[in-house]
Structure 1
Amino acid sequence: MTASPRIERLRQRMAETGTDLVAIGPSSHMVYLTGVDPHGDERPVMLLVSQTYAGFLMPALNLDAARKNSDLPMIPWSDSDGPDAALAQVLEAAGIDRTAPSVVLDETMRADFALLLLDALPGARRRFTGDTVSFLRARKDEDEYRRLRASQLLNDKAMQAGFAALKPGVTERDVASVIRSVYLENGARPQFDLVCFGENGAFPHHHTGDTVLKAGDAVLLDIGGRLGGYPSDMTRVAHLGEPSAEFAKVHAIVNTAVEAALAAVRPGAKASAVDDAARGVIAQAGYGEFFLHRTGHGLGLDIHEPPYITATSDTVLEEGMVFSIEPGIYLAGRFGIRLEEVVIVRSDGPEILSELPRDTVIV
């Protein structure tokens, strides 16, 4: 059986990193490698990949559904028998020397699944997927780029619909409902909608609620949907009536921070340099203590995945990496401003996936 291109790339990476076995639970890692997205419960299910084998430990009741998405071998186990014998069979098929194998574990796998495997490999040297599966996922191929771009362009429409719904008397939930309808009407699934009126914008992860929009309020919208299996993410701001001089000043500072971060994005640069560029602008303007989070996060099958754009990240940026740039300033009791772009690293710098300006929308 010929392995998929992604399995083959994983094997190349395993050889480069001295990895004998990669064990993946029901997760986006499994979807990325095989297209299989099994029901996740307490029954152990794993994809095991070695240099000579790729196959599944699979609960019998999920077997037929899983086979619709993959022709990789699947060794089933039943509730009456338990998974131990089936796991031993998979490990034997994978040709794993059980004395001291180098094993990569899916960091999102249930702890009892991981311990089941490690108990079967008592001498295993184990680590997580950072230099194998996650390493590969951080570098998007052309199909992934197209899907991310299409999802982001739909997000532009959803954001514009959210702005159009702003008027005195509407609630945050009302606007969120309008945004969600745009995703659904265009074949996408809503993922999140942070609709923040007034002082709620100063909470970076505000939960959309029943706050009513009134004259003079600032508005922050952080929204995303999932189209073609891939998510979008974007933050923009609006104002009901002309904004104050301070709001305009803070918006300009945050936008300059975005531009500085964009200028720092290039192959070979460290992720920390992008964070430093954005953070430096805000700190120099006197608002450093009000920038409360990292500058960005990767996007792919997951809304948050590597690379992470933080002050401590040594990740070296490469072509094909996709991540957000989203500095913010949050003034408690007043307003918050965050401006977010999603970019892909190209040979000559970043390509922004959205086409929506970052200007404040005046309602």
Structure 2
Amino acid sequence: MTSPPLIDLTDRAREIFRLVVERYLDDGQPVGSKTLAGEGALDLSPASIRSVLAELENVGLLAAPHTSAGRMPTDTGLRLFVDGMMQVAEPSAEERAAIREKLGEPGTVEHALERTSALLSDLSGAAGMVMVPRREPRLSQLSLVPIAANRALAVLVGEDGQVENRMLELPGPIDVGALQAAGNYATARLAGRTLPEAVAAIRNEIASGRTRLDTASRDLVERGIAVWSEDASQRPVLIVRGQAKLLDDSAMGDIERVRSLLDELENKESVAALLDNAREADATRIFIGSENRLFSLSGSSVVAAPYRDREGKVVGVLGVIGPTRLNYARVVPMIDFTANSLSKLIS
């Protein structure tokens, strides 16, 4: 059913609809005519309010979960409210300070993204999500550190200062000098290249016989570089924090929906694909319930915004996911402010 434009609603219907949605977003409970009449915001009898609620239900903006219960907004109703009636509340000075302080903590970009996801969860009371930038790190240094007779630690340092470690299985006891020579060679030849470029370059140089490394050192270089390229496709592109916040007291009455949502969050590739729809948005995007196929079963909403690098290019997306009764008026500007703050950090 197609809902009417907001301008087609009478002033009375528009006001009652607004009150129902705001009350529902506040406590997650259906709203009845007696409740609205008792609050005194409307100079109408419960019977008159009931008549308007029925009209709003007939046009698809409200629904009654039970015969004797009040009404709650449908996904269509929430969309109409968000797009045409919602008045956003800017983040408070305390919230802005907390966001800046959390993002300003020392650490790598990866740690900043993890902090951002956790921060969004804490501020929204939902699960926070950050899609990792789609860019390959460039090498600065590769070191091979002996750990045991047949094991070494490959330490990769990127140009951005990020450090990653991988355990390297060796074919047998390796001389410490060979490890050092392999690391020095890789650093000298491959600095400034991305991982795929590094793998291709080193294999090409070894195959052409242009390297002066002995057989053992050549093998070490290949192993040390390839250990990252082999798992590149398996790296998570999405950082999710705060799933436990989805299991609050109000969720216990709808445990199947929450279980469905948690199952959906396990499929990070699909969630990342949804967030990818917000990459080219000029402002924060809101996906409500059944509007997106991924979360149609759990009836969840996603609020997301892109963040950018120093050149203004979109490199990732951040946001929150939770029940459709998210406090959109508060969450939307919070997401926008966090995206802008993260963009300044990684510039």
Q: What TM-score do the two structures reach when normalised by structure 1? A: 0.31
What TM-score do the two structures reach when normalised by structure 2? 0.32
Which is greater in Rg? 2
More helix as a share of residues: 2
Instruction: Kindly indicate which of the two structures has a greater share of residues assigned to strand.
Output: 1
